[in-house]
Structure 1
Amino acid sequence: MPEQSSSEIPFHSAALSSQKALLEQVKNLPGQPGVYRFLGADGIVLYVGKAISLKKRVGSYFQKNDHSPRIRLMLAQVIGLETTVVRSEGEALVLENNLIKALSPRYNILFRDDKSYPYVVITGHASPRLAYYRGALDKRHQYFGPFPNSYVVKESIQLLQKVFRLRTCEDSVFANRSRPCLLHQIKRCSAPCVDLITADDYRSDVNNAVRFLNGKASEVLGELETRMQTASEAWLFEEAAAIRDQINALSRIQDKQFVSSNSSEVDADIVVCVIGSGMICVNLAMVRGGRHVGDKNLFPSHADGYDAPAALEAFLAQHYLDRNVPPVIFCHPEPENANVLAELLGQQAEHKVVLNSHPNGERRVWLDMAIKNAELAILQRSSQTATQHARLGSLIEALGWPDAVARIECFDISHTMGEATVASCVVYDRFDMQPKEYRRYNIEGITPGDDYAAMRQALIRRYGKIAAGEGVVPDVILIDGGKGQLSMATEAMAEVGMSSPILLGVAKGETRKAGLEQLILNDRPAPVVLKRDHPALHLIQQIRDEAHRFAITGHRARRAKTRVTSSLEDVEGIGPKRRQKLLASFGGLQGVKAASLDELKQVDGINSALAEKIYAVLHA
């Protein structure tokens, strides 16, 4: 850890005395590297910054008059300052970004990209497994990636299954198989679990998969063609045909690549920052083993007043300081403090890292493509934002709400005949859905199927905390239901002591068709019915449908978990020994569930009556 020392400027109630105290303390700041934090009312951190010289950097805020509107607005709220002295500019950069991630200051640009990226993993078992993986890396296994999204990883696994037929089953299933599974029958697995492939041949397939993931597809294709020719000359036509199918599948995978590189083992990221229509977009593209594996666009929060080099520096620091770093990062434009960033990332990665802002040849094509993708993303987002502005404005006008209405929260209930009831809450704010703010509530202690009680419990649980100061009060609460649900919601909000949110019920029309919804408000004697093509109705449908999707997804997951945990233990007459025999015979619970009655009867100790009981419980 770096050696650090801290100083703190105390708060002052009067703005003038606070300003004088700040100026006095700035005079006494050291000319050393460090991190400073501007504080607002109640000690809230407004901004975190780094400096080569704390005295010069912090002093510049109070000596210049040409600050951007963002900085002027921030300075008007500053009543305190904290500083931390470190040993180098690199340490200041690390500490700055750790504090930004931890505190989320209002005036710092924030890239909310804190999820771990997915990998393809080939395990280190005797019969290695091909799998999707997120999380900390284990040296016993081989990891390929990271990839920009889970879709790319899952698609890669499906393609690799077709070509190399590696197992994807869990170890517990693999160890208990007594016959091949469905994947073997559809030619997606060579069934090493029951020795339908020799250990050497399986290891050869694993090695070919590793080489392909490392960008050596041409070598793999060459060897497969040689093997096919050898098998054909030896009149082993079935083996030759199988290898031919592998070659064809591998060739199709190569054709699917978005970009191919002449350098087969290139690992690099392409990061560009583009500003347009008042928005900042960072496009991150990944090249692994010479193959372009996809990209993603990121729109930071609190980005007003940042130029592209400063925003790009913030992204590189926030994104890579806790992640694997490729040897080369192609970037546009050149980020601020590029040399310091490259040195710091190299120290973290334990290998040299190059930030290249002026590539040539195919690398320049990668960079130009990323710039174009960022520009298109800004155009799309700008169009979507304009649409959402229009929809929200139309809703405010149609229902006579105040212009300040911006945040809408919507609730929905999902269950199956009262089983595994789940309530969802989705959030619409800043003219878009905010998935990171969604919440689900597992409903307990009510009469099964009582939607009123379920909604009441969800509202009290959420807004009881918000009333106590633990969240943001919405402007509107949208309830999926009619007058009864709305009346119940009104009582629940009164119980928690909140009266400010507008409550809006959305009841389906007589035929329950989209476009015939009735909007019910407490201050209106009759429901409001909007035209089918009304922008306000489209916004309400968008939010309600998202709440429904989020609720039913949570309900299905909870229901599946409940049914799996009950499973064989709930079957009368099935003790530990018979349960173990069933699981061993079919390779796990999923295999037992997939078995027919006749297959269940073939297990030692399972008669017709028991087989029927097992089948009934697992298919209830």
Structure 2
Amino acid sequence: MSFIDQALKEKARSLPRKSGVYLFKNSADRVIYVGKAKNLRNRVAAYFRANETDPKLVGIQHNAKALDFIVTTNETECIFLEATLIKKYRPRYNVILRDDKRYPYLKLTMQEAWPRLIMVRKVEKDGAKYFGPFEGSVVRKTIRLVKRVFPIRWCKSLPLKKRKEPCLNYHMHRCLGPCVGKVSHAEYLDLCKGIITLLSGRVDKIIDKTKTKMQTASQNKKYEKAASLRDNLRTLEKISEKQKAVLPRPKDIDVFVCDTQETGYVVLVLKVRQGKLIDKEVYRPKQYTSHELEEALRQFLLQYYSSSLDLPAEIVVQFDFEERGSLENALSKTRKVKFVIPKRGDNLHLLQLAEENLRFIARKKGLDVGSLKELQEVLKMDKLPGRIEAFDVSNLQGTNMVASMVAFEGGNPQKEHYRKFKIRTLEGPNDVGAVYEVVYRRYAKTLAKKLPLPDLILIDGGIGQLRAARSALVQAGRSDTKVISLAKKEEEIYTLESSVPLRLARDSLSLRLLQRVRDEAHRFAITYHRGKRNLFA
């Protein structure tokens, strides 16, 4: 049976033979795929071939009901427009840099008279210096670390407010006190230059300068300052230990390796700055299953660098991919960039190092997949529970009742999909009623459209909470979704298919996974509840 929309096929034949971007839409007028082409007519017509086996193309054939396109003047314009539209619409069949909003940058506001170091999620051309992207937990640690060595201001006032007395940060030696005139403007800007040097991966230069300053302070009998510089030196040396030299020359290189896994695919990035390995990043992009790993890598690279100002001189990849030269030219508008597929030498060594790191991740991932497979068998599910959502209710004697929802994909938390709920319809302690409310709100209201639907729902509680969740799912029109509950004391699993709860071995991989998901939902709910209690205390 053919799923190809014949009217759409005819429209594809009438497209111009020009470069541009095309958008497939479904029956709800939602964009499901964005692509680019040197020749729109030829490229789009290729989607309507019969006997297609690639799951992504079959999915597009089945769901595409409308087609739109934008003609561009050149291929470079085409590349950046494609990336912009993918970020805007987040289409189902494109590779999506998962949790794009979750990866923040460090911004040093050099356009301000007295610069600040802050976390932002958007890179702008405003005269500031940007570093990243980082993972959320890493960026906060980095800010604390940098400010320990370079005590620039913590206050957010713009412009800097003059004060009569310095704040606590000054007395704790965490700020030089520009607001009370304790530091000159030139000295303050010198601190900022040090931050730029440090975050650019050139920590050795900072170490040398700090040693010189410490020796000078000691010779001038400024022992308190010398002691402070000594502490900074120790911090910097710890950073330097982590930044091992992997190249004999001071080069800037990013190394990308990727591989497919049962629950998706993973990309690992090694960042080398000035010949030193300074960071490792792991991404699990959202992608509809496809055999085209090369195309997935191309889309990932385009999104990764579309908003990054930290372009290296060389980008090392495992294999060649279509339109590598076009992407290279597009990125080189900011800085000359070269893609390298190494066969020997230092770059091959870096690639092998990245692949070794990826193998370690794959081993851990293998355990996650093992627990998901075991859980699928235990619960007699038709498919792997790739996405699990869990709910927990928290209250203190019925007051400030709240609930949480957490989401796991492939055994890993997806924190950007976590949600908090304030119970609206109940007064007094009623966990069962609260479960009904939040499950209904999640799967019947706007959240049902904003977030992916789960393969498995886990409720923290017993049979009462499970039945409440089931009733809410039926009311929301989601009765086909598998739902279970996990009781804390005996760690029993309640299902709707049996009146007898399941008891798994304590060392069972599937039980450990459920416990991890349940405990995370509990932690998230407790944290939210404490915050509300403290607010009204």
Tell me the TM-score normalised to structure 1 length.
0.71
Offset, 1:248: 4.1
Secondary structure in 2 matching 1:454: helix
Offset, 1:423: 0.9
The gaps in structure 1 that reach 5 residues or longer are 1-13, 397-401, 510-515, 564-619
Instruction: State yes or no: 1:459 paired with 2:439.
Output: yes
Match of 1:387 in 2: 371
Task: Give the distance between the partners of 1:225 and 1:26, measured in 2 at CA.
Answer: 67
Q: Quick check: 1:120–1:153 contact (8 Å CA) kept in 2?
A: no
Secondary structure in 2 matching 1:110: coil
Please give the residue correspondences for 1:81-480 in structure 2 after superposition, counting only pairs within 5 Å: 81-115=67-101, 116-119=103-106, 121=108, 128-137=115-124, 139=126, 141=128, 143-171=129-157, 178=165, 181=168, 184-185=171-172, 187-192=173-178, 204-259=190-245, 267-274=252-259, 280-288=265-273, 291-302=276-287, 304-332=289-317, 333-347=319-333, 349=334, 351-358=335-342, 362-396=346-380, 402-404=381-383, 406=385, 408-416=388-396, 418=398, 420-428=400-408, 433-444=413-424, 446-465=426-445, 476-480=456-460
Offset, 1:412: 0.6
The gaps in structure 2 that reach 5 residues or longer are none
Please give the residue correspondences for 1:519-530 in structure 2 after superposition, counting only pairs within 5 Å: 519-521=493-495, 524-530=498-504
Q: Quick check: 2:492–2:503 contact (8 Å CA) kept in 1?
A: yes
Offset, 1:33: 1.9
After superposition, the Cα gap between the structure-2 partners of 1:128 and 1:263, relative to the gap in structure 1 and judged at 3 Å, is farther
Offset, 1:40: 5.5
Offset, 1:494: 5.9
Offset, 1:547: 1.4
Paired letter, 1:414: S
Q: Quick check: 2:252–2:275 contact (8 Å CA) kept in 1?
A: yes
Instruction: State yes or no: 1:58 paired with 2:44.
Output: yes
Paired letter, 2:122: G
Deviations 1:159-196 (A, max 9, x none): 334433334344499866735526744x5444555566
Q: Quick check: 2:111–2:126 contact (8 Å CA) kept in 1?
A: no
Task: Give the distance between the partners of 1:154 and 1:56, measured in 2 at CA.
Answer: 48
After superposition, the Cα gap between the structure-2 partners of 1:140 and 1:555, relative to the gap in structure 1 and judged at 3 Å, is farther
Task: Give the distance between the partners of 1:166 and 1:508, measured in 2 at CA.
Answer: 48
Please give the residue correspondences for 1:480-519 in structure 2 after superposition, counting only pairs within 5 Å: 480-486=460-466, 488-489=468-469, 492-493=472-473, 496=476, 499-501=479-481, 503-509=483-489, 516-519=490-493
Paired letter, 2:239: I
Task: Give the distance between the partners of 1:215 and 1:44, measured in 2 at CA.
Answer: 43
Task: Give the distance between the partners of 1:274 and 1:48, measured in 2 at CA.
Answer: 23
Task: Give the distance between the partners of 1:467 and 1:219, measured in 2 at CA.
Answer: 50
How many aligned residue pairs are there? 533
Task: Give the distance between the partners of 2:450 and 2:144, measured in 1 at CA.
Answer: 44
Q: Quick check: 1:147–1:294 contact (8 Å CA) kept in 2?
A: no
After superposition, the Cα gap between the structure-2 partners of 1:493 and 1:306, relative to the gap in structure 1 and judged at 3 Å, is closer
After superposition, the Cα gap between the structure-2 partners of 1:360 and 1:462, relative to the gap in structure 1 and judged at 3 Å, is same
Paired letter, 1:297: V
After superposition, the Cα gap between the structure-2 partners of 1:298 and 1:418, relative to the gap in structure 1 and judged at 3 Å, is same
Offset, 1:458: 1.7
Q: Quick check: 2:371–2:513 contact (8 Å CA) kept in 1?
A: no
Paired letter, 2:521: A
After superposition, the Cα gap between the structure-2 partners of 1:196 and 1:559, relative to the gap in structure 1 and judged at 3 Å, is farther
Task: Give the distance between the partners of 2:450 and 2:175, measured in 1 at CA.
Answer: 51
Please give the residue correspondences for 1:26-37 in structure 2 after superposition, counting only pairs within 5 Å: 26-37=12-23
After superposition, the Cα gap between the structure-2 partners of 1:44 and 1:260, relative to the gap in structure 1 and judged at 3 Å, is same
Paired letter, 1:373: N
Paired letter, 2:462: G
RMSD: 4.2
Q: Quick check: 1:38–1:47 contact (8 Å CA) kept in 2?
A: yes
Q: Quick check: 1:268–1:286 contact (8 Å CA) kept in 2?
A: yes
Higher mean alpha-carbon deviation, 209-218 vs 421-430, is at 209-218
Q: Quick check: 1:212–1:220 contact (8 Å CA) kept in 2?
A: yes
Task: Give the distance between the partners of 1:536 and 1:149, measured in 2 at CA.
Answer: 28
Deviations 1:178-224 (A, max 9, x none): 35526744x54445555666666555544444444445544444444
Paired letter, 1:550: F
Secondary structure in 1 matching 2:76: helix
Q: Quick check: 1:272–1:284 contact (8 Å CA) kept in 2?
A: yes
Paired letter, 2:427: T
Q: Quick check: 1:110–1:303 contact (8 Å CA) kept in 2?
A: no
Task: Give the distance between the partners of 1:94 and 1:299, measured in 2 at CA.
Answer: 22
Secondary structure in 2 matching 1:376: helix
Match of 1:552 in 2: 526
Secondary structure in 1 matching 2:445: helix
Which has the greater radius of gyration? 1
Secondary structure in 1 matching 2:406: strand
Paired letter, 1:549: R
After superposition, the Cα gap between the structure-2 partners of 1:178 and 1:416, relative to the gap in structure 1 and judged at 3 Å, is farther
Secondary structure in 1 matching 2:282: strand
